[in-house]
Amino acid sequence: MDGHNGLWQHLQAMVTRSILLLLVTAVGYYLAKGFTIRRRFQRMQRQGVPMMQHSVIWGHLEVIGKLMATLPSDAHGDYMQILIQKNWRELFPGRESCPPVFIVDTWPFTTPIIITIHPDVTSQYTQEVSRVKPREQKRFWYPLTQNLDLASMEGETWKEWRKKLSPGFSANSIASHIPGLVDEIEVFADTLREKAGRDGAWGKVFPLEPIAKDVTFDVIGRFILGTRLHAQTNPHLLLKTALVDIIPRMVFYLNPLNFFSYFNPYNQFRLWLDNRRMNAFLLPHVLSHIASKPGSTSTDKNRILPLALGKHQVNPDPNLIANVLGQLKIILFAGHDTTASTICWIFHVLSRNSKALSRLRYELDQVLGPDPSAKAVVVTLKAQPHLANQLIYTAAVIKETLRLHTNVGTMRSGGPGFTLYGPASTPEYAGMEFPTEGCVLWDGSWAQHKSPELWHRVEEFLPERWLVTDPEDPLYPPKNGFRAFELGPRDCIGQGLGVVEMKLVLAVVIREFEIEEDYGEVKGKEERVFGERAYQVGGDGTPGVKGGLPVRVKVRNVTGACL
Ligand code: HEM
C-alpha cells in the first residue's frame, strides 16, 4: 500500500513539474517574441515609417483599444481599418495626408498586421505577386477541411485544384443551374409570404439573416451536390447544424483570450464531431456519384462533383476522396454566409433608397415582364435563364452594396526581403518603403471602399457609378479599387455564382414584396456604429448583420405592370 502511495505521489510531483515547466517555457517564449516585435516596431518608428504612437510596453494595444472602445462590443473587428482612416489626422501627427499603409502591433492578441488601404499597394502582394496565405488562416480552416481546400492550399496543389474546379464556376455552368436555383429561391419567397401580414398589411418584425442563410445554403447545396437539401424547411438538417456549430468554434488569431477555450477538450471534441458529421453527410453523395459513372452525361463537364473527382475510377484513392470532401466543405462555408449577409445589406440599402428601388423594379419589369409575382418570375427564369444577364442595374445595386458593406478581405504573409512601396499617386508617400517581415498583410478593403481620395461621393449609395464608361467622369470607379471579391489569381472563385444568386433573389422577391428594415422593436441597449443601428458584427470571422437585420414584410398591392 505504502509503495502505491509513494509511486502515486512521485507521479503527481512529476506531472506538476512538467506542467510548470511547460507554462514557464510558454511565458518565456511569449515574452521573448513580444520583445522582438516591440523592438522591430520601435526601430521602424525611428526610421520614419508612418506609424501610430507605439509604446515599447503596450505596442499599439492602447491606441487600438481606445479606438475600438468607441464602438459597441459586438461590432466587427474589421471596423478598426475605418476608425484609423477616419482619425488619421490625430493618429499620424505631422502627416499631410492619410498613409496608404497602417502598421499595427497588437501582439499578443494578433500577429503584427500591415493594413493596406490603397489599391496600388494592395496589388503589390495580390496581383503583381500573389503572396501565400498566413498560417493563421490555415489554422482557421484546419478543423473544417484539414487544409484540403482551395482557400488554404498553395503553389502547384492550389493551381491544380483551381484549374480543376474553375469550369464549374463559368458563366455557362452557372446559367445551366438557374432553373434549379430559382426553385430554392421560390421557397424563400414562400417564407416571406408567410411572414407578411394579411391583406397587404405589414407582418411582425423578424430577423432576415437566418432565412437568408437558409436559402443560400440550399442554393449552394443544389449547386455542388445537384440535390435539394431543404435547409429552408428542415431546421434539423445535419449538414447545416454541424456547419453552424463548427463556425464559431474556429479561431483565426490564437491568443491569451481564446487559447484555453479553443483547446478545451470539449471544444476540440465538437470540432472533431462536426467535421465528422459533415463528412458523413457528404460522403454518400460522393460515392453515389462515383457509382453513377461520372463523365457519362454532357453536363458533367461543368459540374463541381464530377470535376473534383476527375477521370472515372471504380475505387478512387482515399486521398482524392478526402480532398473532394475538403473542397465541398469550403465551398459550402464560403458560399453561404457571405452571400446571405450581402442579401441583407441589399435590403437595408434599398429600404432607404426609394429611387434606386424604383429603378430596380423598373428594370425587372422590362426584362422579366410585368407580372411581379414570385411564381411568374420563377416560370420566366426557368424558361429563359439567360435573362439574368440582362439585369444590368440589378448587378450595379449588388456591387454598390458590396462597396458600402464589404464582407471579407484577403490576408497574406509578409516576409524577410518583401517590401511594399508607397503609391506613386500619393506625393507624400510615393516610393516609401514598408518592410513586411513577421507581419500579416491585410487588404483593408472596408477602408479602401470608403476612401474619399478614391471614390467620388463616397458615402452615397450610387449604383449609377457602376454604369459609367467614361474614365473622365468623376464617378468612374478607380482602377483595382473594388475588392469585395478580391483581385488577382486568388480572387473569389464563386463571385459569378454569388452575383447571379443575389440577382435571382431580387428578381423573385423585390416586386412582390415590400421589405422594410425595422430596429424599433429590438430590445436591449440602442447601439450604433457611425450613427447606424445596422452594423457588421462578429469577431474575426465572416461578418454578420446586427440583430440579423430586423425587417417586416408586406405583399405589394400591384396588378399587372407595376409602378
Ligand atoms: C457576396 C458573396 C461573396 C463574397 C463577398 C466573397 C468574397 C471572397 C473573397 C474576398 C475571397 C478571397 C479570400 C481570401 O483571400 O482569403 C474569396 C475567396 C473564395 N470564395 Fe468567395 N465570396 C462570396 C461568395 C462566394 C461563393 C458563392 C462561393 C462558392 C460557391 C465562394 C467561394 C470562395 C472560395 C472557394 C474562395 C477561395 C478561392 C481561392 O483561394 O482560390 N465565395 N471570396
User: DSSP for 385-448?
Assistant: GGGGGG-HHHHHHHHHHHHHT-----EEE--TT-EEE--TT-TTTTT-EEE-TT-EEEE-HHHH
Beta-carbon neighbour count of residue 163 at 10 Å? Answer: 10
Q: Which ligand 1 atom is the nearest neighbour of the CA of 409? A: 10
- For ligand 1, the distance from its centroid to the CA atom of residue 548, given in whole angstroms, is 21
List phi, psi (to 5°) of 225.
-105, -15
Q: What per-residue confidence (pLDDT) applies to 8?
A: 86
What 3-state class would DSSP assign to 493? coil
Q: How far apart are the first and last CA of the chain?
A: 92
Cβ of 477 less than 6 Å from ligand 1: no
Residue nearest to atom 2 of ligand 1 (CA): 339
Closest-lying ligand 1 atom to the alpha carbon of residue 483 = 10
Q: Which residue's alpha carbon is nearest to atom 14 within ligand 1?
A: 410
Going by CATH, does the domain composed of 23-452+468-555 fall within 1.10.630.10?
Answer: yes
For the cut 60, the answer to whether the pLDDT of residue 304 exceeds it is: yes
- CA 240 from chain centre, in angstroms, equals 18
pLDDT band at 346 (very low <50, low <70, confident <90, very high): very high
Give dist(CA 444, CA 114) in Å, integer.
9
492 in Cβ contact with 485 (< 8 Å): yes
* DSSP line for 97-125: S--SEEEE--TTTS--EEEE-SHHHHHII
Query: How far apart are the C-alpha atoms of 475 and 20, rounded to whole Å?
Result: 62
| Shortest-distance atom of ligand 1 to CA 502 | 1
**Which of 492, 500, 545 for a ligand 1 pocket mutation test, highest count of atoms within 8 Å of Cβ?**
492
Report the chain's mean pLDDT, rounded to a whole number: 94
Measure the CA–CA gap between 32 and 26, rounded to whole angstroms: 10
Asked if residue 523 has pLDDT above 80, the reply is no
User: How many Cβ atoms sit within 10 Å of the Cβ of residue 469?
Assistant: 6
Helices (H) and strands (E) in the chain, counts: 19, 11
Q: Round to whole Å and give the CA distance between 41 and 258.
A: 25
Q: Rg of the chain over CA atoms, in angstroms?
A: 26
User: How do 433-435 and 440-443 pair as beta strands?
Assistant: unpaired
Confidence of residue 557 (pLDDT cuts 50, 70, 90): confident
Give me the residues paired with residue 435 across strands.
419
State the distance from the centre of ligand 1 to the C-alpha of 328, rounded, in angstroms. 13
Cα–Cα nearest to 431, from 120, 171, 208: 120
CA 451 to chain centre: 20
Residue 486 in contact with ligand 1 by CB distance below 6 A? yes
Q: Where are the domains of the chain?
A: 23-452+468-555
Q: How confident is the model at residue 299 (pLDDT cuts 50, 70, 90)?
A: low
Per the CB < 8 A criterion, the answer to whether 327 and 279 are in contact is: no
CA-closest candidate to residue 189, choices 480, 515, 443, 440: 515
pLDDT per residue over 130-182, tens digit each? 999 999 999 999 999 999 999 999 999 999 999 999 999 999 999 999 999 99
Atom in ligand 1 nearest the alpha carbon of residue 445: 10
* Predicted confidence (pLDDT) at residue 446 exceeds the cutoff of 50: yes
Q: What mean pLDDT is predicted for residues 316-341?
A: 95
Regarding the beta carbon of 543 and ligand 1, being less than 6 Å apart is answered no
Query: What is the CA(243)–ligand 1 centre distance, in A?
Result: 17
Whether residue 439 is annotated as binding a ligand: the answer is: no
H or E element that contains 552: strand 550-555
Q: Can you tell me the distance from the alpha carbon of 131 to that of 461, in angstroms, rounded to the nearest whole number?
A: 33
Q: How far apart are CA 373 and CA 178, in angstroms?
A: 18
Give per-residue pLDDT as tens, 356-411: 999 999 999 999 999 999 999 999 999 999 999 999 999 999 999 999 999 999 99
Say how many Å lie between the CA of residue 228 and the centre of ligand 1. Answer: 22
Strand partners, 555: 513
State residue 300's pLDDT score: 65
Sign of the dihedral defined by the CA atoms of residues 355, 357, 361, 363, in that order: positive
Determine the angle formed by the axes of helices 79-86 and 61-68, rounding to 10 degrees: 100
Mean pLDDT calculated for residue range 95-104: 97
Q: Residue 494's CB: how many other CB atoms inside 10 A?
A: 23
CB atoms within 10 A of CB 20: 10
User: Is pLDDT above 90 for 263?
Assistant: yes
For residues 254-282, average pLDDT:
96
448 within 8 A of 454, measured Cβ to Cβ? yes
Q: At what angle do helices 238-246 and 318-350 cross, to 10 degrees?
A: 80
The pLDDT value recorded for residue 3 is: 63
Residue nearest to atom 1 of ligand 1 (CA): 339
Cα 256 to its chain centre, rounded Å, is: 25
Residue 562 has pLDDT above 50, yes or no: no
